[in-house]
Amino acid sequence: MAANLHHKHFFNDELGELDELASSLEFPRWLKDFTGLSEWPGIDPPYIPLDFIDFNVPTLVPIHKQGQCDMIPNEVSSVCSFDCHNCVSFDDIHTCSKLSQTFDDGPSQYTPQLLRQLDKTNTKSTFFTIGLNIIRYPEIYLKTHQKNHIMASHTWSHPFLPSLTNEQIVAQLQWSIWAMNATAGHLPKWFRPPYGGVDNRVRYFIRQFGMQLVLWDFDTFDWKTVGDLLKNDETILRDVKTFQKEKNNQGIILEHDSLSQTVSIGIKLNQHLPDQLTIPQCVGGIDYIKQFPR
Ligand SMILES: [Zn+2]
């Protein structure tokens, strides 16, 4: 991977901080030609017009911030808000025939530790990656991909999507996809919204890229172990075991490969769950919309 260093802002997801760091991924020629830009954008990426995107959202969903649910009707057909009402649509994936781990917010410097453990149990997992982190750690992204884990999208800079305009939502999706394509030459099929923030307006755009939503039915809250005495590796493992029993070993576990603590929990849970599926294996779907020969 060419080391073409640009200085730019990067978003440290869990801490909510802006770091001054360098991208190690070159801005590719095809993207330069297509966007007219010369470098990767920051946390508020510009919308680049795409001829296949239709902005005539057929359903009226009010723009809302996280937790602002007063004006969001609890109605499946029109709004179907997951963040406000836990509503899932017919094509959303929210469980799996085998209880399986999934990892959000990477790649990070801690991802390789997790990869070593997944190798030990021969687990193929699904990683929902953030564009800004892909261009920061392209080698770790590639390594994860080369180990045949499924690379999926988790936006460009991790915003709460229902609070964005239509153009901002499309920008988050397009730049995420371009970072994945520039790094590993593929177009993602699977998408997970940050904070579970999704409703029918957001779904409308995700579907236009051919992507499918992946939610979860077990949240580890692994990030809460930082400074929380009530949640730790042992309580999370205990809760997973209880869930596993209740659900007859079915489900999707939400975890993060972005922090040292969350990766350490991921390693422990993997030791307990040696037999897992990737999201496409869970539902009999494709790995990627397209993989370009390299
Ligand atoms: Zn996330």
Work out the mean pLDDT of the chain and round it to a whole number.
Answer: 91
Q: How far is the CA of 21 from the centre of ligand 1 (A)?
A: 20
In a domain? residue 266: yes
Residue range 253-275: mean pLDDT, rounded = 96
Residue range 226-255: mean pLDDT, rounded = 92
Distances (CA, A) of 44 to 54, 95, 106, 159, 187: 21, 32, 19, 9, 21
Token digits of residue 2: 């060419």
CATH of the domain at 244: 3.20.20.370
In a domain? residue 67: no
218-219 and 252-256 as β-strands: parallel, antiparallel, unpaired? parallel
38-94, pLDDT tens digit by residue?
A: 999 999 999 999 999 999 998 888 999 999 999 898 876 789 999 999 999 999 999
Q: What is the pLDDT of residue 76?
A: 65
**Cα–Cα distance measured from residue 222 to residue 271, given in angstroms and rounded to the nearest whole number:** 16
Residues annotated as catalytic (active site), given as ranges = 104, 256
Residue range 261-287: mean pLDDT, rounded = 97
Neighbours of ion ligand 1 (CB under 5 A): 104-105, 194
Q: How far is the CA of 192 from the centre of ligand 1 (A)?
A: 8
Total tally of structural domains belonging to the chain: 1
More confident residue, 13 or 5: 13
Q: What is the largest CA-CA distance in the chain?
A: 54
**Cα–Cα distance measured from residue 172 to residue 131, given in angstroms and rounded to the nearest whole number:** 9
In a domain? residue 271: yes
In a domain? residue 270: yes
Say how far residue 203 (Cα) sits from the centre of its chain: 15
In a domain? residue 202: yes
Say how far residue 59 (Cα) sits from the centre of its chain: 25
Q: How far is the CA of 154 from the centre of ligand 1 (A)?
A: 7
Q: Which domain holds residue 254?
A: 88-291
Residue 7's pLDDT band, with cuts at 50, 70 and 90, is: very low
Side chain identity at residue 292, one-letter code: F
Residue range 239-259: mean pLDDT, rounded = 98
- pLDDT at residue 201 tops 50: yes
Among residues 265, 202, 154, 183, the alpha carbon closest in space to that of 57 is found at 202
Q: How far is the CA of 195 from the centre of ligand 1 (A)?
A: 6
Q: What is the pLDDT of residue 22?
A: 57
Q: How far is the CA of 104 from the centre of ligand 1 (A)?
A: 5
CB 279 within 8 A of CB 288: no
- pLDDT at residue 258 tops 70: yes
Q: How far is the CA of 120 from the centre of ligand 1 (A)?
A: 26
Which helix (H) or strand (E) segment holds residue 116: the answer is helix 111-120
In a domain? residue 149: yes
In a domain? residue 28: no
Q: How far is the CA of 290 from the centre of ligand 1 (A)?
A: 24
**Cα–Cα distance measured from residue 5 to residue 213, given in angstroms and rounded to the nearest whole number:** 33
Q: How far is the CA of 133 from the centre of ligand 1 (A)?
A: 12
- pLDDT at residue 13 tops 70: no
- pLDDT at residue 21 tops 60: no
Residue 225's pLDDT band, with cuts at 50, 70 and 90, is: confident
In a domain? residue 123: yes
Q: How far is the CA of 11 from the centre of ligand 1 (A)?
A: 12
